[in-house]
């Protein structure tokens, strides 16, 4: 829809919103980012009315572009790719593209659920559920290390899969399930991504928000804001 401003509703600590913000920047899309109200105690209550209207799950991100009103970070990725194919953020080859899509899905739906469980166990690191969640994240890190055996990016070329897992591992590091020296290729991958301007802008804003609320930062996040 030429000439119509895109509006992206996100949140200061939304992993899924951050994914879409990074993608919009990487694509060079003109997107107005609207941060919905957020409080460390009440979280996203009360919900933003546009988020409530469009997303039955009542969550960010939500994208509005003229008559297009969509939610879910992966659906927004796909819309961005259709809207502006270059620079491509899915591989051109069908098999590679399918693999990249699978990696993005696994980041959100295999890796991240155990991290969500850790969010309620910060004061109980020895709880069996917390131990199991850290073990699950470690196994996933090992799997991603193998993906990087001969390439610089998870899908071979820089893709939405990298954006998704970067944000997921950022939250994992914050919740007590960081990468370790056991996955040196993955740590090098994170360093490459942290140097990308789009990622520095979005992760840096998140780091500044956390710092303003006296929340601890993983070293790689702290390095973005100095």
Q: Cα(164)–Cα(211) distance, rounded to whole angstroms? A: 23
Domain match, 76 and 136 both = no
Q: Is 156 left (phi over 0), alpha (psi -120 to 50) or beta?
A: left
| 184 is a domain residue | yes
The tokens for 64 are 């509005």
Token pair, residue 175, equals 């919740």
The whole domain housing 79 covers 6-83
3-state class (DSSP) for residue 136: helix
Look at residue 10 and give its three-state secondary structure: strand
Last-in-domain residue among 59, 83, 107: 83
pLDDT of 1: 59
What's the length of the chain? 226
66 and 113 part of one domain: no
- The tens digit of pLDDT for each residue in 189-222 reads 999 999 999 999 999 999 999 999 999 999 999 9
**What is the pTM (predicted TM-score) of this model?**
0.95
**CATH at 169:** 1.20.1050.10
Give pLDDT tens digits for 73-89.
Answer: 999 999 999 999 999 99
Which residue's structure tokens are 């829809």? Answer: 1
- Does the residue 88 lie in any domain? no
Geometric angle at alpha carbon 171, from 43 and 195, rounded to 5°: 120
DSSP 8-state secondary structure symbol assigned to residue 111: I
pLDDT tens-digit profile, the chain (226 residues):
556 899 999 999 999 999 999 999 999 999 999 999 988 778 788 899 999 999 999 999 999 999 999 999 999 999 999 999 999 999 999 999 999 999 999 999 999 999 999 988 877 888 898 899 999 999 999 999 999 999 999 999 999 999 999 999 999 999 999 999 999 999 999 999 999 999 999 999 999 999 999 999 999 999 999 8
Pair (126, 218) in one structural domain: yes
* Strand boundaries in 27-133, DSSP class E: 31-35, 62-65, 68-71
For residues 130 and 117, give the distance between their C-alpha atoms in angstroms, rounded to a whole number. 7
Tell whether 1 is covered by a domain.
no
Q: Which domain-ending residue is among 51, 83, 115?
A: 83
Asked if residue 161 is part of any domain, the answer here is yes
């Amino acid at each position: 829809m030429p000439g119509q401003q895109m509006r992206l509703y996100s949140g200061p600590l939304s992993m899924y919103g951050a994914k879409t913000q990074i993608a919009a920047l990487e694509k060079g899309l003109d997107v107005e980012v609207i941060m919905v109200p957020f409080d460390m105690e009440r979280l996203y209550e009360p919900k933003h009315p546009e988020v409530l209207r469009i997303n039955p799950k009542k969550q960010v991100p939500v994208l509005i572009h003229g008559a297009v009103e969509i939610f879910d970070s992966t659906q927004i990725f796909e819309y961005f790719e259709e809207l502006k194919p270059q620079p491509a953020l899915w591989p051109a080859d069908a098999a590679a593209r399918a693999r990249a899509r699978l990696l993005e899905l696994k980041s959100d739906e295999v890796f991240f659920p155990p991290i969500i469980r850790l969010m309620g166990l910060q004061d109980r690191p020895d709880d069996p559920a917390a131990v199991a969640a850290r073990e699950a994240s470690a196994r996933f890190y090992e799997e991603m290390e193998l993906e990087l055996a001969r390439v610089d990016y998870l899908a071979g070329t820089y893709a939405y899969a990298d954006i998704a897992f970067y944000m997921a591992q950022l939250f994992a590091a914050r919740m007590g399930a960081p990468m370790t020296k056991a996955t040196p290729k993955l740590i090098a991958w994170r360093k490459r991504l942290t140097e990308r301007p789009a990622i520095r802008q979005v992760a840096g804003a998140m780091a500044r928000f956390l710092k303003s609320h006296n929340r601890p930062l993983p070293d790689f996040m702290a390095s973005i804001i100095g």
